[in-house]
């Protein structure tokens, strides 16, 4: 019969899979947006990019200390403004060509260029002339200034010099981040000639892509997997332990968990909240402090939130212990400062509070009484997720009991919620901030009056001044300025910090070279199977 | 009638005639509806289904009054626990005294029912007979409260589809010609749009204007959501009604009414639309299951009913999420799915029964 | 016949145009854009990004650029001010544009990779559904009133009444988690196809069985079948030659919308079993505000629905000579 025949015919075309299984497989949250380092913004993209590309530095898996990557050594001028890198002689692209300083100049220019419209171009705005190069364009969208005005120069084939606007102690960390990883100029230009319409997608195809990292792109099927093969020309190829790696794109959280628990994946970092309680105490689940903070923003342009006593009262009245232990339940710690303790070399300044919750509540009530204002039914805005709602409920409940007003809960789809915050259409909003690099400035500068990430309408002249001066200062003045800024922030309380993030990775105990760290960045150069030894660091 | 002279009726005897007249006097003219009602009642499965649904509707209406646990109170320490069989040794008793009284925003009637419940039962509540979910919430209570949302979703959606669909189809079928063509083309166009898209958009747009809607129309997000659902089901209803109206339009009673001087509107409203009701009723019985499944589908994608409200679809979606090697809590998915399945089964049985009952071909097989 | 096809084609293009317009309006009408990530971008960068994807153009211009056939950007025809390297573009020339979210792919690429997989899944499921449903429906109709009939009626009613993801999850639980017989998720070997196909086929098998049963019951009572029996033909011949043709008509009529429904049902199945089909893109593109992918998927869906309906109408006319190919609803 007809249906039966059709069935058989289709079954024949069934086996459209890839050849064989990879040595190592792990899940990623959905299909990555891009493999191009300049186009990458998200965590899943970063995970994959660290397999394909390598920058001037790589980071220690535990301490995140910058270690030599493509650059074998570097010197920094005492004023902290000029960095000189010496590249390895044996650093090669996956097609055998040598990686030169000119490659880095090209890649950095590409990152800064307004034509590329790279979202992380601002990472290079620490370089002299960088911001101007990106922002000032002519009518056709080309940069108005020549790239020679930007402080990036190739002194020779193996020497690269970068001049900064101001001393930036975390610049080496930035150089190890994904957007600053180099791309192969020859491939891009060849594709531009061959496919003038579609070169943007052509150069990233497996048959064309040339990479600098430990792996090359072997095959890719959208929404299914990215298959990587060991890069035979990588400078440290003897250390690379896996021949093939599969990065599986999975949308559904439960499916990711199931794949890990049935052994099909060795690493799962997106865990459904209902599973967290069951995973506690397992050897393969060891949450560690993560450089992120969850907090509530106050719209300081709306009375009575324009009075800092009201804001501080609201901030004091949040039951952080219950939120961290009962709702988040993965080992998060209560946050009384904005900058997490994991930030390098910074002593956090905390919101003035007592040790006992009851004292805090009393202080809150006193502050509110002192301000003489009464609170209307404020609306708590959050992106639609159960955990956000649960947190909001606890907080609203606490505010109702202690401060005597009923807060309303309002959830919006993530993008719409973001839009609302941008346009200051909210009262109180749930928000979070994760650091790109382990320095306090990255956290504190978002509350500068003109920062797009401010989104509270809060302005403070002295705070801006502290931040501006800290950007150009050297130690120990820098730390003092940052502490002063954080003191102002905690005193004015345009935000109420609630909890510090932890990493949530389920990792197979067999995988060596994988360590929890504060940025949750994992460099596969160090990975190996534990029972086979290997790994020198 | 002029042919009567060609016929000769066989005349019955005197007693037979009296008997016949007596029988005729007893016989009452039955309408199609009355006959159908009788026939449905005689069909055992349909009777059971009707009774079952009535009980369900009653439970749903009176949910705040029943001595159930709170559907939203968490017990994180307890976590998920399986349903306990009444005959097992683990039996801890039917009641306990731990009612917390937590609930989401109630309307006035529900609030009154809730206060009555507190007066009647105090802190007593039924033990978690159907188990609890991963946050310790009582599944029995959530199921009963979920039935409210699911049933009202289905009813509101069905009502919306009824109003829009019958109106659209009746006008199109009755007026005919170019207007009919235009209206049906519009229906075809809407059919071609992938509804998932539209749902996502409409849900987002509705969420944006939620506060205005709440203030202006007194509708909360849930009701608006259900009305939006209804807007997807009127298309088929319009088509069905139009087909029915097309065939009714040519019948004698319409011509008769028109010759009596009735206006078009009057004919439409009082003659044609009531006669489409049988078909509409059958389709409504089939819409309700569709809506419930669609609602479950949306809940799975995270676009449906939002916590703290529960619906069967949301419970089923949460139950599906609970099926991991860490926690094989099968009851969390079985209970709501069974509820959905049984309700749908009942509606299908009733729908079939109505269709059979109103089938004119079966009239002679009485 | 030719006139019929021509009219259908014309209506298809008009519908497609209307669908594109409505979808375009809806997409742009909702708040939040494709580049609103967790972090807002510095204004200069946001400006550059929007310029690259022509989001800073007026809406009508974006619409015309998307629909085509003329390319309105700097590579357009020279008389429009471009450099003439790419005068044509847009949907009318078959170019569905670059994906806003998946920067490494054009929408054509994404559809080319994912659509065959979805269609394969759908076709397998449909075939399986028919293979199981039709014989079951016939058997149940012939054994009407018996135990088998009752069993079938109950199981089909249940099959229709269970949400798709419930069935998928339960199958996953039974055959993958509880007893590790089949893989949990993914795509590759034949083993990965078993559970998704079963989960997707089940409700359609139930529908098919019910429709076939109803169709057979109706046809069996008709005159020409009674005549055939009266002529003394063996029962199996009666069924095959006379009953089946008429009975399959309602099934065919249902196949059109059912095929479209499978595409939607596969949304849930593909999500649970991590199958790289088009279903995932339906929801994600709307949530990600991936304008071009969303429009591309809409267009594909509309085309498929139209194509199926056309095939169904043609097949119905072939089976039942009483049906004429008309435009009546």
DSSP B251-297: SHHHHHHHHTT--HHHIIIIIIHHHHHHHHHHHHHHHHHHHHHHHHH
Query: Is the pLDDT reported for residue A44 higher than 60?
Result: yes
| Chain A residues close to C120, C-beta within 8 Å | 10, 13-14
More confident residue, A9 or B300: B300
Give A66's Cβ-side CA count (13 Å radius).
21
Give the confidence band of A162 by pLDDT, cuts at 50, 70, 90: very high
Determine which of B282, B288, B320 to mutate to test the interface with C (most C C-beta atoms within 10 Å): B320
Query: For C275-293, what is the mean pLDDT?
Result: 85
Cα end-to-end span (Å), chain A: 65
For the stretch A429-473, pLDDT in tens is 999 999 988 999 999 999 999 888 899 999 999 999 999 999 988
Q: Does A431 touch chain C if contact means CB atoms closer than 8 Å?
A: no
Specify the pLDDT at position C325. Answer: 54
Q: Which of A475-489, B61-75, C102-116 has the lowest mean pLDDT?
A: B61-75
Which chain B residue has its CA at the smallest distance from C17's CA?
A: B189
Name residues 224-243 of chain A within 8 A of C (Cβ): 224
- How far is the C-alpha of A506 from the C-alpha of C203, rounded, in Å? 36
Query: For A196-222, what is the mean pLDDT?
Result: 92
Specify the pLDDT at position B366. Answer: 36
Cβ-defined contact of C163 to B313 (cutoff 8 Å): yes
Q: Does B289 touch chain C if contact means CB atoms closer than 8 Å?
A: yes
Q: Which of A86-100, A200-214, A280-294, C227-241 has the lowest mean pLDDT?
A: C227-241
| Chain A residues close to B204, C-beta within 8 Å | 413, 416
Q: Does B215 touch chain A if contact means CB atoms closer than 8 Å?
A: no
Give the confidence band of A72 by pLDDT, cuts at 50, 70, 90: very high
DSSP assigned state of A431: E
Range picked from A498-512, B114-128, B135-149, C166-180 for highest mean pLDDT: A498-512
Query: Is the pLDDT reported for residue A351 higher than 50?
Result: yes
Q: Does C268 touch chain B if contact means CB atoms closer than 8 Å?
A: yes
Q: Does B302 touch chain A if contact means CB atoms closer than 8 Å?
A: yes
DSSP assigned state of A27: E
| Angle, CA C91 vertex, CA C88 and CA C94 arms, to 5° | 75
Cβ-defined contact of C103 to A13 (cutoff 8 Å): no
Please tell me whether residue C221 adopts helix, strand or coil conformation.
coil
Name residues 378-417 of chain A within 8 A of C (Cβ): 413-416
DSSP assigned state of A104: H
Specify the pLDDT at position B9. Answer: 59
Residue B138: phi, psi to the nearest 5?
Answer: -70, 125
Cβ-defined contact of A416 to C188 (cutoff 8 Å): no
- Tokens representing B236 are 């088929």
Distance from CA of B32 to the nearest CA of C (A): 22
Query: Is the pLDDT reported for residue A537 higher than 70?
Result: no
Distance from CA of A249 to the nearest CA of C (A): 8
Distance from CA of B195 to the nearest CA of A (A): 19
Determine which of B321, B322, B329, B333 to mutate to test the interface with A (most A C-beta atoms within 10 Å): B321
Question: Sheet containing A159-163: which strands, arranged edge to edge?
Answer: A71-76, A82-87, A159-163, A152-154
Chains that touch A (3 or more CB pairs under 8 A): B, C
Q: Does A262 touch chain B if contact means CB atoms closer than 8 Å?
A: yes
Give the confidence band of B14 by pLDDT, cuts at 50, 70, 90: low
Whole-angstrom CA distances from C12 to A442, B182, C7, C19, C25 are 55, 15, 8, 10, 20
Cβ-defined contact of A272 to B321 (cutoff 8 Å): yes
Cβ-defined contact of B323 to C286 (cutoff 8 Å): no
Specify the pLDDT at position A420. Answer: 87
Which chain C residue has its CA at the smallest distance from A223's CA?
A: C276
More confident residue, A521 or C85: A521
In this complex, the residue of C30, C170, C177 whose CB is nearest that of residue B201 is: C30
DSSP assigned state of A348: P
Q: Does A263 touch chain B if contact means CB atoms closer than 8 Å?
A: no
More confident residue, A392 or B245: A392
Specify the pLDDT at position C329. Answer: 36
For the stretch A84-113, pLDDT in tens is 999 999 999 999 999 999 999 999 999 999
Specify the pLDDT at position B33. Answer: 67
The average confidence (pLDDT) of chain B is 77
For the stretch C55-76, pLDDT in tens is 888 888 889 888 878 888 878 8
Range picked from A179-188, A279-288, B259-268, C208-217 for highest mean pLDDT: A179-188
Cβ-defined contact of A141 to C48 (cutoff 8 Å): yes
Q: Does A264 touch chain B if contact means CB atoms closer than 8 Å?
A: no
Asked if C98 and C287 count as a contact pair (C-beta separation under 8 A), the reply is no
Asked if B250 and B176 count as a contact pair (C-beta separation under 8 A), the reply is no
In this complex, the residue of B134, B306, B325 whose CB is nearest that of residue A274 is: B134
Q: Does C15 touch chain A if contact means CB atoms closer than 8 Å?
A: no
Cβ-defined contact of B289 to C170 (cutoff 8 Å): no
Specify the pLDDT at position A155. Answer: 94
Distance from CA of C251 to the nearest CA of B (A): 17
In this complex, the residue of A257, A386, A389 whose CB is nearest that of residue B324 is: A257
> Angle of helix C147-161 relative to helix C107-142, nearest 10 degrees?
160
Cβ-defined contact of B307 to A386 (cutoff 8 Å): yes
Q: Does A222 touch chain C if contact means CB atoms closer than 8 Å?
A: yes
Give the confidence band of B115 by pLDDT, cuts at 50, 70, 90: confident
DSSP assigned state of A404: -
For the stretch B33-56, pLDDT in tens is 677 777 777 778 888 888 999 999
Q: Does B188 touch chain C if contact means CB atoms closer than 8 Å?
A: yes
Specify the pLDDT at position A1. Answer: 44
Name residues 391-410 of chain A within 8 A of B (Cβ): 410
Query: Is the pLDDT reported for residue B2 higher than 50?
Result: no
Determine which of B180, B197, B198, B334 to mutate to test the interface with C (most C C-beta atoms within 10 Å): B197
DSSP assigned state of A120: T
Q: What is the ipTM of this complex?
A: 0.84
Query: Is the pLDDT reported for residue C84 higher than 70?
Result: yes
DSSP assigned state of C88: B
| Angle, CA A454 vertex, CA A449 and CA A458 arms, to 5° | 55
Which chain B residue has its CA at the smallest distance from A411's CA?
A: B207
For the stretch C172-221, pLDDT in tens is 888 888 888 888 888 888 888 999 999 999 988 988 888 888 778 777 77
Q: Does C190 touch chain A if contact means CB atoms closer than 8 Å?
A: yes
Cβ-defined contact of C186 to A248 (cutoff 8 Å): yes
For the stretch B320-364, pLDDT in tens is 888 888 877 888 888 999 999 889 888 888 887 887 777 655 444
- Tokens representing A408 are 């309303």
Distance from CA of C3 to the nearest CA of B (A): 19
Asked if A382 and A347 count as a contact pair (C-beta separation under 8 A), the reply is no
For the stretch A242-297, pLDDT in tens is 999 999 999 888 899 999 998 899 999 988 887 888 888 899 999 999 999 999 99
Specify the pLDDT at position B24. Answer: 72
Specify the pLDDT at position B27. Answer: 63
In this complex, the residue of C162, C173, C264 whose CB is nearest that of residue B330 is: C173
- How far is the C-alpha of A491 from the C-alpha of A312, rounded, in Å? 8
Q: Does C75 touch chain A if contact means CB atoms closer than 8 Å?
A: yes
Specify the pLDDT at position A132. Answer: 92
Specify the pLDDT at position C214. Answer: 77
Residues 6+ apart with CB under 8 A from B290: B233
Which chain C residue has its CA at the smallest distance from A251's CA?
A: C271
Name residues 110-139 of chain B within 8 A of A (Cβ): 134-135
Q: Does A389 touch chain B if contact means CB atoms closer than 8 Å?
A: yes
Cβ-defined contact of C23 to B197 (cutoff 8 Å): yes
């Amino acid at each position: 019969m007809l249906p039966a025949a059709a069935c058989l015919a289709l079954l024949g075309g069934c086996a459209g899979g890839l050849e064989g299984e990879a040595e190592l497989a792990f899940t990623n949250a959905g299909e990555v947006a891009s493999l191009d380092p300049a186009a990458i913004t998200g965590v899943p993209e970063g995970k994959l990019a660290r397999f394909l590309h390598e920058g001037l530095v790589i980071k220690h898996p535990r301490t995140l200390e910058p270690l030599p990557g493509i650059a074998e050594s570097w010197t920094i001028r005492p004023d902290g403004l000029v960095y000189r890198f010496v590249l390895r002689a044996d650093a090669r692209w996956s097609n055998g060509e040598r990686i030169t300083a000119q490659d880095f100049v090209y890649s950095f220019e590409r990152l800064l260029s307004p034509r590329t419209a790279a979202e992380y171009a601002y990472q290079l705005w620490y370089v002299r002339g960088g911001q101007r190069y990106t922002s000032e364009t002519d009518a056709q969208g080309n940069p108005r200034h020549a790239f020679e005005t930007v402080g990036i120069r190739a002194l020779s084939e193996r020497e690269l010099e970068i001049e900064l606007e101001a001393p930036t102690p975390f610049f080496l960390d930035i150089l190890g981040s994904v957007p600053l990883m180099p791309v192969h100029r020859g491939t891009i230009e060849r594709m531009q000639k061959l496919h003038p319409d579609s070169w943007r997608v052509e150069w990233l195809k497996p048959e064309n892509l040339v990479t600098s990292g430990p792996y090359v792109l072997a095959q890719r099927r959208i929404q299914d997997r990215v298959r990587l093969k060991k890069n035979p020309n990588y400078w440290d190829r003897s250390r690379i332990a896996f021949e093939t790696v599969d990065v599986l794109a999975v949308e559904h959280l439960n499916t990711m968990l199931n794949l890990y628990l049935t052994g099909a994946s060795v690493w799962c970092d997106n865990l459904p909240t209902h599973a967290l309680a069951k995973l506690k105490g397992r050897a393969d689940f060891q949450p560690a402090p993560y450089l992120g903070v969850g907090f509530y923003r106050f719209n300081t342009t709306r009375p009575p939130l324009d009075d800092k006593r009201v804001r501080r009262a609201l901030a004091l009245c949040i039951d952080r212990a219950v939120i961290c232990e009962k709702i988040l339940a993965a080992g998060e710690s209560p946050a009384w400062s904005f900058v997490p303790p994991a930030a390098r070399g910074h002593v956090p300044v905390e919101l003035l509070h007592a040790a006992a919750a009851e004292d805090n509540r009393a202080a809150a009530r006193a502050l509110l009484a002192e301000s003489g204002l009464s609170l209307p039914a404020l609306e708590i805005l959050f992106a639609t997720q159960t955990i956000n709602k649960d947190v909001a409920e606890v907080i609203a409940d606490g505010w109702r009991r202690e401060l005597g007003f009923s807060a309303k809960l309002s959830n919006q789809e993530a993008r719409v919620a973001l839009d609302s915050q941008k346009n200051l259409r909210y009262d109180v909003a749930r928000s979070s901030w994760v650091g790109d690099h382990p320095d306090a400035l990255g956290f504190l500068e978002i509350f500068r009056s003109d920062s797009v990430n401010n989104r509270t309408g809060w302005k403070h002249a002295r705070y801006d001044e502290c931040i501006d001066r800290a950007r150009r200062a050297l130690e120990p003045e820098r730390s003092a300025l940052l502490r002063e800024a954080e003191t102002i922030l905690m005193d004015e309380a345009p935000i109420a910090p609630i909890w510090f993030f932890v990493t949530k990775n389920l990792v197979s105990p067999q995988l060596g070279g994988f360590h929890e760290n504060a940025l949750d960045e994992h460099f596969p150069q160090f990975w190996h199977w534990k029972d086979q030894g290997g790994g020198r660091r | 009638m002029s042919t009567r002279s060609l016929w000769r009726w066989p005349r019955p005897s005197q007693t037979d005639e009296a008997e016949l007249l007596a029988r005729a006097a007893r016989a009452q003219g039955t309408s199609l509806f009355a006959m159908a009602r009788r026939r449905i009642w005689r069909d055992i499965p349909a009777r059971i289904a009707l009774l079952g649904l009535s009980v369900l509707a009653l439970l749903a209406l009176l949910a705040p009054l029943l001595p159930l646990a709170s559907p939203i109170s968490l017990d994180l320490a307890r976590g998920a626990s399986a349903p306990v069989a009444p005959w097992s040794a683990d039996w801890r008793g039917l009641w306990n005294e731990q009612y917390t009284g937590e609930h989401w925003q109630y309307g006035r009637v529900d609030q009154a029912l809730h206060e009555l419940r507190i007066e009647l039962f105090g802190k007593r509540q039924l033990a978690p007979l159907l188990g609890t979910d991963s946050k310790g919430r009582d599944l029995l209570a959530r199921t009963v409260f979920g039935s409210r949302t699911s049933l009202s979703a289905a009813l509101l959606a069905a009502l919306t589809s009824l109003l829009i669909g019958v109106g659209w189809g009746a006008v199109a079928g009755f007026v005919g010609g170019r207007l009919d063509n235009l209206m049906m083309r519009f229906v075809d166009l809407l059919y071609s749009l992938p509804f998932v898209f539209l749902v996502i958009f409409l849900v987002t747009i509705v969420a944006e204007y939620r506060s205005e809607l709440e203030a202006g129309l007194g509708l909360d997000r849930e009701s608006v959501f259900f009305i939006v659902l209804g807007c997807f089901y009127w298309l088929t209803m319009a088509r069905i009604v139009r087909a029915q109206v097309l065939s009714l339009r040519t019948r004698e009673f319409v011509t008769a009414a028109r010759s009596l001087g009735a206006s078009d509107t009057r004919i439409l409203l009082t003659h044609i639309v009531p006669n489409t009701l049988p078909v509409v009723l059958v389709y409504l019985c089939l819409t309700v299951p569709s809506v419930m499944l669609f609602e479950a589908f949306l809940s799975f994608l995270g676009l449906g009913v939002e916590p703290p409200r529960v619906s069967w679809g949301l419970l089923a979606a949460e139950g599906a999420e609970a099926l991991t090697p860490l926690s094989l809590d099968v009851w969390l998915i079985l209970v709501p799915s069974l509820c959905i399945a049984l309700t749908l089964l009942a509606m299908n049985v009733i729908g079939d029964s109505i269709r059979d009952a109103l089938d004119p071909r079966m009239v002679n097989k009485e | 016949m030719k006139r019929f096809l021509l009219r259908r084609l014309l209506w298809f293009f008009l519908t497609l145009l209307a669908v594109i317009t409505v979808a375009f309006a809806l997409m742009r009408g909702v708040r939040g854009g494709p580049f609103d990530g967790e972090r807002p971008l510095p204004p200069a960068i946001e400006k550059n990004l929007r310029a690259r994807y022509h989001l800073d153009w007026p809406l009508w211009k974006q619409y015309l650029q998307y629909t085509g056939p003329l390319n309105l950007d700097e590579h357009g025809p020279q008389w429009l001010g471009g450099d003439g390297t790419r005068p044509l573009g847009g949907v009318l020339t078959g170019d569905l544009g670059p994906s806003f979210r998946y920067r490494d792919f054009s929408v054509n690429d994404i559809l080319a990779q994912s659509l065959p997989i979805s269609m394969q899944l759908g076709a397998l499921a449909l075939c399986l559904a028919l293979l199981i449903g039709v014989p079951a429906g016939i058997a149940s109709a012939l054994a009407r009133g018996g135990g088998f009939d009752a069993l079938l009626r109950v199981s089909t009613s249940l099959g229709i009444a269970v949400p798709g993801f419930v069935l998928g999850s339960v199958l996953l639980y039974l055959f993958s988690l509880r007893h590790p017989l089949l893989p949990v998720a993914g795509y590759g070997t034949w083993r990965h196809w078993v559970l998704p196909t079963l989960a997707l086929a089940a409700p359609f098998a139930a529908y098919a069985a019910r429709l076939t049963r109803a169709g057979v019951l109706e046809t069996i009572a008709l005159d020409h079948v009674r005549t055939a029996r009266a002529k003394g033909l063996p029962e199996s011949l009666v069924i095959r030659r006379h009953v089946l043709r008429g009975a399959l008509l309602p099934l065919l009529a249902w196949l059109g919308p059912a095929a479209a429904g499978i595409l939607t049902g596969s949304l849930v199945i593909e999500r649970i079993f991590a199958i790289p089909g088009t279903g995932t893109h339906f929801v994600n593109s709307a949530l990600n505000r991936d304008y071009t992918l969303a429009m591309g998927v809409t267009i594909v869906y509309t085309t498929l629905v139209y194509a199926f309906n056309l095939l169904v109408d043609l097949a119905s006319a072939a089976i039942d000579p009483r049906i004429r190919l008309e435009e009546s609803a």
